[in-house]
Amino acid sequence: MSFWWIYPSLLTFCTLFYCQALRTYPSNEVLPSDALHPCVLTSCTVTLLDSMSAAGDLGWVAYPSEGWEEISVMDERNTPMRTYQVCNVLEVNQNNWLRTSWIPRGEAQRVYIEIKFTLRDCNSLPGVSGTCKETFNMYYYESNNSNLWHIHENQFIKIDTIAADESFTQVDVGDRVMKLNTEIRDISNLYKKGFYLAFQDVGACIALVSVRVFYKKCPTTIRNLARFPDTVTGGDSALVEVKGTCVNNSEEFDVPKMYCSADGGWLVPIGRCSCKPGFEEKRNVCQPCRPGYYKALLTDLYCTKCPPHSFSLQDSSAECTCERGFYRAKSDPKSMACTRPPSAPSNPISTVNETSVIMEWSPPEDSGGRMDITYNIHCRRCLLEGQKCSPCGSGIHYIPRQFGLPHPRVLITDLLPYTNYTFDIEALNGVSELSSGPKQFISVNITTSQVVNVILKERKSKDSVTLAFQGPEKTNDAVVEYEVIYYEKNHKDQNYTILKTRSTSMTVDGLKPGTTYIFRVRAHTIGGQGVYGGEIELETSTEDMIAITDPNQITILAISVAGGVILLIFLVTCFFVSGRHCGYIKAKQDPDEDKMHFQHGRVKLPGSRTYIHPHTYEDPNQAVRDFAKEIDASNIRIERVIGAGEFGEVCSGWLKLPSKREICVAIKSLKVGYAERQRRDFLGEASIMGQFDHPNIIRLEGVVTKCKPVMIITEYMENGSLDSFLKKHDGQFTVIQLVGMLRGIASGMKYLSDMNYVHRDLAARNILVNSNLVCKVSDFGLSRVLEDDPEAAYTTRGGKIPIRWTAPEAIAYRKFTSASDVWSYGIVMWEVISYGERPYWEMSNQDVIKAIDEGYRLPPPMDCPLVLHQLMLDCWQKCRSDRPKFGQIVNILDKFIRNPSSLSELANSSTWQDPSMQDSFTVTSVEEWLEAIKMSQYMEHFTMAGYVTLDSVLYLSNSELSKIGISLAGHQKKILSSIQNLQALGTHVQI
Ligand code: ACK
């Protein structure tokens, strides 16, 4: 038989699919791993046999001998290659076998056989019908034996009958029309070391050009930082589950797994490894963090710059080391800046009330970079101030507690009377215990007291008085003796007398008639000796007098023989002048000036230039009688309720006095069931108001005291209180109108200050407006300071103060003066120009105090003339003597009104105003913050330097700003002051 139809260029049909050399591996040989990588990443094949690559005889067994024949041909590169051909198409009953050599299976359980062949179309051959076939069969036989010579036909297992997709008909080699067929079959679940393949021809004309046997692998790969090794696909079509191993410097985060599919691809990666602390992932490997950077957690993705006040000098840092003097608390995240203990608290204010003390203080100026500031109180009892101190021991109560106070205030009770105490207020934060530095504290010395009421019991004769002592209440039996010192007024240096008694009363005789004496009393107790109480000024009469027998007439002369504390209440003795019961003293509102004056003479009449406090009257009803006109209730017609005051309702109505025209009035009534003290305080306002007569002070029409309800009648102010009036008419007035209102208020205040009256609660809510837009000062309540003002907050010294309106010295040590009223007036100016905006918006009182102390002042409201804001700033001078007087303010405002063009230049609120002082200032990122303060040009500087969270910028300093490239002093200042505000408004900032 000739093979005329096979020709050398046959191989132009063959494709060199695989690059391995033809090798058949001994069964026990381990496949070299580099043989596995011709086809990385997705799938990989390992060739077990490739007939195309055989250099010499293939050595396959063919039988019978006239069947398959091995033919050497040359490929296009003239390389000899082996083919097997058979073409016994003219003869019947062909059964020609061709069996390969033993093929080791290696690690494969499933192998693929790819055959390339040509097959002649029987129809194209003449005279072969009935004998010519167009298929052949493929078989395999598994065996551990590589040297079998003979295998019985029926031992083979059939893989498939192979038919040609394309058979050829032409013999004209020039046409190159022979078609090369490629078929792939597979054998699964192999289990012996190797196998033989066999091709059975049953009468076809076939050329077997190539046989390639291979298996598939999933190639080694790294996924999710886990390395997956080369994996041979499964014996059947099931997936092979493979567990990955973490690459260097990584740890298993969640067991990494993948599945090797039957066609050699990886599927379904689950789980992962993560780079260990100190390493970050880059291109499938874990690389060490550079010096200056760190990665704290397995779960962190990248190395980040060391937070402020820390550093890392080496590669692979899992955390940064704190600079000297800075620490990291156990619970601090590694990403947080290192911090230090706070500085000592400052500005302590203590208010001693007998045996208890309220202490308040300002938080430390340097919080150390932390928000978790607490305070401890350490108590020492000292014999002399600051000397020979010993721990206070138990029995003292601290409210809310002694240690770990979250807020800068504490109430301490159950102290011993007449005792010096030193309280050390220590500030701590989360890293205080890590520092070996000294404790940061501030000391407060206080002396406790207890009240001794001194009573003028009798003034029987012109040369003696009998005084009685009440108290100290809680330790009555502890009082050893009372000591009275007295001297003639203005002659203290020349002569004074000290008398002591164990009794609770004492008659002082041998006094000169008609002479003014000063008496002071103190108590000695087993706890120590108090200091003298306030001065009691008494003038002996020129004639003998009748004893006062009515206990209600007993006059309390003074309260408080107190350890140097200010709690003095003065009461007055009766003094008969012209047969009239009208003794009074001039009240002092300034505790620094508390000194009792005892004046001869008559009650000063309304219109006098000095105001008289009703408390100076022994009988407050007398003050009402002196200063307020009694009105018959029948002259009043109540119309409607317009509001609620501290003591009861406020109504509008009509007053018709005989021979006068009916006028509209406001009627304040005292609610039923009042206590005597409430009645006194209620009418006290009338006694004050009745002394004033000015177009910018609310006018008292009179009082109703003879029947109930007790009422105070004032002029009616149609537009109600100024703050709500402005809010209602937001933006509706001209600047001149607003200045006119302010001028009126200033004028009223000038009148009051000329009369030595200090208002203490000047605020837009306490100004009333009539239908002509005339503003009048009101609210002269007596129960102040300032129980009825919702804005008033308790201060450390016990009083209630409307913090936002009050001058710092009045808050700190109750220095209320006309100059502190001027401060409040400045705030009223701001309220007026901003149409009733709340001063300092929603900042807390404590923040306001702190901000003012640090020099912050309210910015100009929108459209505020520059000169008005300047005037406000003048009113808010820290030093009260630098503030303008009300008279000057009136003059300045008059000038503005006369020359309106002076008001045309507006203050630039955007440059003045730091938005971070406003309540609406809620920034959540460095970017938002920089934008808000118009410094966003520095965003990149912050980012590059690693200041990416608000937390991290909170404690930047000048030098750090310079380091990151912000060198303009003005910009540094702006950024730093905003940082301070951010710190102060910690709650506004979301970190
Ligand atoms: O803001 P208003 O309308 O003005 O509400 C309060 C309320 O009574 C409680 O004080 C109003 N009010 C007080 N005195 C007068 C007055 N003399 N004329 C008009 N309204 C008054 C105040």
- pLDDT (tens digit, 9 = 90+) per residue, 64-121? 989 999 888 777 677 777 889 999 999 999 999 999 999 999 999 999 999 999 998 8
Q: How far apart are CA 643 and CA 657, in angstroms?
A: 25
Confidence at 478, pLDDT banded by 50, 70, 90: low
Residue 162 has pLDDT above 50, yes or no: yes
Q: How far apart are CA 98 and CA 17, in angstroms?
A: 24
Residues 6+ apart with CB under 8 A from 401: none
Q: How far apart are CA 991 and CA 370, in angstroms?
A: 13
Confidence at 372, pLDDT banded by 50, 70, 90: very high
Say how many Å lie between the CA of residue 768 and the centre of ligand 1.
7
105-119, 553-567, 735-749, 953-967, range with the lowest pLDDT:
553-567
Q: Token digits for 296?
A: 């704290």
Phi, psi for residue 198 in degrees, rounded to 5: -140, 145
724 lines ligand 1 (CB under 6 A): yes
Residue with tokens 């990122």: 925
Residue 742 has pLDDT above 80, yes or no: yes
Say how many Å lie between the CA of residue 720 and the centre of ligand 1.
5
Residue closest to 982 by CA, chosen among 922, 909, 939: 922
| CA 759, chain centre distance (Å) | 38
Q: How far apart are CA 117 and CA 181, in angstroms?
A: 5
Confidence at 178, pLDDT banded by 50, 70, 90: low
Instruction: Give the pLDDT confidence score for residue 789 in this predicted structure.
Output: 62
Q: Token digits for 942?
A: 């912050």
What is the mean predicted confidence (pLDDT) over 596-611? 36
What is the mean predicted confidence (pLDDT) over 487-508? 81
The residues annotated with a catalytic role in the active site are 761
Q: How far apart are CA 232 and CA 698, in angstroms?
A: 101
Residue 788 has pLDDT above 70, yes or no: no
- Distances in Å between the alpha carbon of 940 and those of 305, 973, 978? 15, 19, 18
Burial state string for 440-462 with b = 16 or more CB within 10 A and e = fewer than 16: bbbebebbbbbbbbbbbbbbbbb
Residues 6+ apart with CB under 8 A from 464: 507, 508, 509, 510, 511, 540
Ligand 1 test: best mutation among 642, 663, 775, most atoms within 8 Å of CB?
642
Amino acid at 512: K
User: Do residues 227 and 247 make contact, with C-beta atoms less than 8 angstroms apart?
Assistant: yes
Confidence at 334, pLDDT banded by 50, 70, 90: very high
Instruction: Give the pLDDT confidence score for residue 719 in this predicted structure.
Output: 95
Tell me: is residue 673 an annotated ligand-binding position.
Answer: no
Q: Please, what is the Cα angle at 560 between 554 and 565, to 5 degrees? A: 155
- Going by alpha carbons, the residue nearest to atom 3 of ligand 1 is 720
Confidence at 793, pLDDT banded by 50, 70, 90: low
Confidence at 799, pLDDT banded by 50, 70, 90: low
Q: How far apart are CA 630 and CA 633, in angstroms?
A: 9
630-639, 642-651, 903-912, range with the lowest pLDDT:
903-912
645 lines ligand 1 (CB under 6 A): yes
- Distances in Å between the alpha carbon of 977 and those of 343, 345, 873? 19, 20, 19
Tell me: is residue 166 an annotated ligand-binding position.
Answer: no
Instruction: Give the pLDDT confidence score for residue 948 in this predicted structure.
Output: 81
What is the mean predicted confidence (pLDDT) over 369-373? 92
Amino acid at 108: A
Residue 467 has pLDDT above 50, yes or no: yes
719 lines ligand 1 (CB under 6 A): no
Confidence at 574, pLDDT banded by 50, 70, 90: very low
Q: How far apart are CA 591 and CA 598, in angstroms?
A: 17
Half-sphere exposure of 626 (CA within 13 A, CB side): 29
| CA 621, chain centre distance (Å) | 55
Burial state string for 744-780 with b = 16 or more CB within 10 A and e = fewer than 16: bbbbbbbbbbbbbbbbbbbbbbbbbbeeebbbbbbbb
DSSP-assigned states of every residue in 200-263 = EESSBEEEEEEEEEEEEEEPPEEETTEEE--EEPPSSS--EEEE-EEPTTEEEEEEEEEEE-TT
648 lines ligand 1 (CB under 6 A): no
768 lines ligand 1 (CB under 6 A): yes
Coil, helix or strand for 966?
Answer: coil
Instruction: Give the pLDDT confidence score for residue 599 in this predicted structure.
Output: 26
- Distances in Å between the alpha carbon of 26 and those of 176, 198, 217, 232? 40, 20, 19, 18
Say how many Å lie between the CA of residue 641 and the centre of ligand 1.
10
Instruction: Give the pLDDT confidence score for residue 460 in this predicted structure.
Output: 58
Coil, helix or strand for 104?
Answer: strand
Ligand 1 atom nearest the C-alpha of 725 is 1
What is the mean predicted confidence (pLDDT) over 274-302? 94
Instruction: Give the pLDDT confidence score for residue 955 in this predicted structure.
Output: 77
Residue 604 has pLDDT above 70, yes or no: no
Ligand 1 atom nearest the C-alpha of 778 is 14
421-425, 602-606, 612-616, 801-805, range with the lowest pLDDT:
602-606
Coil, helix or strand for 909?
Answer: helix
Residue of 744 and 618 predicted with greater confidence: 744
Instruction: Give the pLDDT confidence score for residue 294 in this predicted structure.
Output: 96
Say how many Å lie between the CA of residue 723 and the centre of ligand 1.
11
Confidence at 123, pLDDT banded by 50, 70, 90: confident
Residue of 240 and 7 predicted with greater confidence: 240
Confidence at 30, pLDDT banded by 50, 70, 90: very low
User: Do residues 541 and 514 make contact, with C-beta atoms less than 8 angstroms apart?
Assistant: yes
Bridge partners of 356? 353
132-136, 515-519, 714-718, 892-896, range with the lowest pLDDT:
515-519
- Going by alpha carbons, the residue nearest to atom 7 of ligand 1 is 643
- Whole-number mean pLDDT of the chain? 80
User: Do residues 110 and 187 make contact, with C-beta atoms less than 8 angstroms apart?
Assistant: yes
Query: How many residues in total does the chain contain?
Result: 991
Residue 38 has pLDDT above 50, yes or no: no
Largest CA distance in the chain: 173
Instruction: Give the pLDDT confidence score for residue 450 in this predicted structure.
Output: 66
Sign of the dihedral through C-alpha 942, 947, 951, 953: negative
Say how many Å lie between the CA of residue 832 and the centre of ligand 1.
18
Confidence at 136, pLDDT banded by 50, 70, 90: very high
Q: How far apart are CA 783 and CA 762, in angstroms?
A: 15
- The pLDDT tens digits for 659-686 are 888 999 999 999 888 888 889 989 999 9
First to last CA, the chain: 93
Which 8-state DSSP code applies to residue 558? E
Residue of 735 and 934 predicted with greater confidence: 735
Say how many Å lie between the CA of residue 920 and the centre of ligand 1.
31
- Distances in Å between the alpha carbon of 52 and those of 11, 22, 105, 181? 10, 8, 19, 15
User: Do residues 408 and 350 make contact, with C-beta atoms less than 8 angstroms apart?
Assistant: no
Half-sphere exposure of 854 (CA within 13 A, CB side): 18
Ligand 1 test: best mutation among 669, 768, 780, most atoms within 8 Å of CB?
768
Say how many Å lie between the CA of residue 711 and the centre of ligand 1.
15
What is the mean predicted confidence (pLDDT) over 825-837? 96
> 860 exposed, middle or buried (CB, 10 Å; 0-12, 13-18, 19+)?
buried
Residue 477 has pLDDT above 70, yes or no: no
Q: Please, what is the Cα angle at 762 between 757 and 766, to 5 degrees? A: 110
pTM over the 0.75 mark: no
Q: Token digits for 25?
A: 């591996």
Residue of 477 and 581 predicted with greater confidence: 477
642 lines ligand 1 (CB under 6 A): yes
Residue 303 has pLDDT above 90, yes or no: yes
- Distances in Å between the alpha carbon of 176 and those of 13, 74, 75, 166, 172? 10, 16, 15, 14, 7
Tell me: is residue 668 an annotated ligand-binding position.
Answer: yes
Residue 584 has pLDDT above 60, yes or no: no
239 lines ligand 1 (CB under 6 A): no
Residues 6+ apart with CB under 8 A from 23: 47
Residue closest to 630 by CA, chosen among 583, 589, 683, 591: 683
Residues 6+ apart with CB under 8 A from 302: 280, 295
Q: Token digits for 501?
A: 């008694």
Residue 432 has pLDDT above 90, yes or no: yes
Confidence at 347, pLDDT banded by 50, 70, 90: confident
Tell me: is residue 643 an annotated ligand-binding position.
Answer: yes
720 lines ligand 1 (CB under 6 A): yes
643 lines ligand 1 (CB under 6 A): yes
Tell me: is residue 649 an annotated ligand-binding position.
Answer: yes
CB atoms inside a 10 Å sphere around CB 918: 18
- Distances in Å between the alpha carbon of 409 and those of 375, 401, 425? 9, 10, 10
- Going by alpha carbons, the residue nearest to atom 14 of ligand 1 is 666
Residue 559 has pLDDT above 50, yes or no: no
What is the mean predicted confidence (pLDDT) over 289-314? 95
Ligand 1 test: best mutation among 640, 721, 729, 766, most atoms within 8 Å of CB?
721
Question: Among the ranges 176-185, 265-274, 978-987, which has the highest mean pLDDT value?
Answer: 265-274
Residue of 174 and 829 predicted with greater confidence: 829
User: Do residues 515 and 598 make contact, with C-beta atoms less than 8 angstroms apart?
Assistant: no
- Going by alpha carbons, the residue nearest to atom 6 of ligand 1 is 643
Confidence at 385, pLDDT banded by 50, 70, 90: low
